[in-house]
Amino acid sequence: MADVRNRRLIYGRRQGHKLHPRQARLVRDMLPALRPDMTAQSMAGWFGGAHFDAYALEIGFGGGEHLAARAQENRKTGFIGCEPFINGVAKLLIAIEAAGLDNVRVHGDDARDILAALPDATLACVYLLYPDPWPKLRHHKRRFVNDENLRALFRVMQPGATLHIASDIPDYVSWSLMHLRRHGGFDWQAEAATDWAAPFSGWPGTRYEAKALAARRVPAYLRFTRRAQAQPGTL
């Protein structure tokens, strides 16, 4: 598969404050062992030879609190987390070390690298939680939900796999629904407003959600299942 990373840009900060000594140690010593082997021919190879019953992906895991909680509760699922912000990666590494998680792989870079390398129909679950809304019109092209990424997600997700999107920005919610309808590969699991007002099952919360609630913004929780075949123009 061609390496397309050279034509991609990652927007936003890669690092904030200086890492604390423990964080710096984990990034130096622990992170290399947790990077997925994207050249491996099997998912076991991605996880250092370990086999799991299912595989899940979190795109932009922020501080890692959601990913760590899910991984701890679902030890038979292999989780891949993507986050280019090194401070967030360091926070996740602390949680992995504290809980002894052996079912997590961490890609401290662009999630599109993972989507390009994953075999077809691999993932049982994908999380996109509070993605950067890029509110300015000229920045909308930076939003993760777009036609190209939805095609990639459709390819790597199994039929019946779940896609979870959470956002506290109404425009981003509308944008996501518009693009998902246009693609047609994902069935929205909602029949009433209460279906997207309630958090996902087993929801541990995230720090971004806490900030949204503190600012009195109302989150939306969108859950979709991957269709066997795309039906463009439908949800």
Query: Which sequence positions are flagged as catalytic?
Result: 132
Phi-psi region of 216 (alpha: psi -120 to 50; beta: other; left: phi over 0): left
* Residues 6 or more apart whose Cβ sits within 8 Å of residue 81: 57, 58, 61, 64, 67, 92, 104, 105, 106, 107
Amino acid at site 141: K
Q: 131 in helix, strand or coil? A: coil
Which of 229, 224, 219 shows the shortest CA–CA distance to 189? 224
Quick one: tokens of 76?
A: 């038979």
**225 neighbors 162 (Cβ within 8 angstroms):** yes
φ/ψ (deg, to 5) at 150: -65, -40
Q: 105 in helix, strand or coil? A: strand
Amino acid at site 59: I
Rounded CA-CA distance 140/167 in Å is 15
* Residues 6 or more apart whose Cβ sits within 8 Å of residue 16: 85, 87
